[in-house]
Amino acid sequence: METRSFCIKDILKMTDEYLNKKGISNSRLEAEVLLGNVTGMSRVELYVNFDRPVADEEKSAYRKAISKRVNGEPLQHIVGLQPFRHINLKVKPEVFIPRPETELVVERILEISRQLSGRLKIIDIGTGSGAIALSLAYEILDSYIYAVDISETALDLARENALNLGLLGKVFFIKSDLFENIDKEVVSQVDIIVANPPYIPTNLIENLQIEVKDFEPKEALDGGKDGLGFYRRIIRDSSEYLKSGGFLVFEIGDGQSERIIKLLKDNNCFEKIQLSKDYAGKERIISAVYRNQQL
Ligand SMILES: C[S@@+](CC[C@H](N)C(=O)[O-])C[C@H]1O[C@@H](n2cnc3c(N)ncnc32)[C@H](O)[C@@H]1O
């Protein structure tokens, strides 16, 4: 791609066409985000400076970024950031990139939080970059969050994001295989347990788009043979931590709702099961209320 002596407007137009030809759907937006990252300008600033020539070093950095993108590397890894609701999260290749539909999980928890009172105690299982945990800490003023992950790299990143957002005092990080290292004596009577666990059936991972199968960590995707392994374990163990009347909230994969509802019903401790849809109209979130049968 020859870009010598071109200005921002020309370069954006050429890159838009090039990315589009390579099958990248949001080509114009991605061209702007990548050029903004290289020049240190916001997207608005790019528009205000449409006729500014692009310096040689910027062109060469931009070419490298475009080539990574065309080879399937996710935009977020190239720029190192992902906006999520009201916060900006640092991302890196070893940690799952938060998705827009997960913002709706936070939305659902905000709805739930309005039915509860006092300081909310919440566990986020499989926190990754901290997207859910940190958004909740940011948006629910009177809350205390336990952010759990099996991956030390994910927890380090989530901690760094918490520090950048001034939320370290509200979020406690635990390295654990689901509930294994969460001390029941210390963490009990929890109001909400939320999880966006790995939910892709193992044999389908190879069919996912390149951005996911080659650039997301496998342990963030692999939900076992039928994709439901983590839901089974979380449903089984969450009753040890939830208070009666507390909520279990899951992000779920396409086509999994009926089987997860069955798991909740078979457990006999969950009621008021509710499904919510994502932006594409797919069933994406399940919530249920825990009832302690001994009370
Ligand atoms: C799909 S990602 C979700 C990340 C984040 N909650 C989000 O929504 O962007 C699943 C996360 O679960 C974590 N994970 C996988 N197996 C786990 C386990 N056994 N115990 C705790 N976390 C686990 C992965 O490391 C990954 O960060």
Structure-token match 């969460």, residue found: 182
pLDDT tens, position by position, 60-98: 999 999 999 999 999 999 999 999 999 999 999 999 999
How many domains does the structure of the chain reveal?
2
The dihedral through the CA atoms of 224, 225, 228, 234 has a sign that is negative
**Does 87 map to a domain?**
no
Cα separations (Å) of 292 from 142, 186, 213, 225, 232?
Answer: 25, 19, 40, 31, 18
Is 29 within 8 Å of 75 (Cβ atoms)? Answer: no
**Does 77 map to a domain?**
no
pLDDT tens, position by position, 222-244: 999 999 999 999 999 999 999 99
Domain extent at residue 38: 8-71
CA–centroid distance, 33 to ligand 1, in Å, is: 27
pLDDT of residue 154: 98
96 classed as catalytic: yes
Query: Which residue's CA lies nearest to atom 6 of ligand 1?
Result: 127
CA 254 – CA 91 distance, rounded (Å):
25
State which of 18, 37, 71 marks the end of a domain: 71
The pTM score is 0.94
Structure-token match 């916060």, residue found: 87
Please indicate, yes or no, whether residues 147 and 284 belong to a single structural domain of this protein. Answer: yes
Please indicate, yes or no, whether residues 21 and 109 belong to a single structural domain of this protein. Answer: no
CA–centroid distance, 11 to ligand 1, in Å, is: 38
CB of 177 closer than 6 angstroms to any ligand 1 atom: yes
CA dihedral of residues 54, 56, 59, 65 (deg, nearest 10): -140
CB of 257 closer than 6 angstroms to any ligand 1 atom: no
pLDDT tens, position by position, 240-264: 999 999 999 999 999 999 999 999 9
Q: How many CB atoms lie within 10 A of CB 27?
A: 18
CB of 98 closer than 6 angstroms to any ligand 1 atom: yes
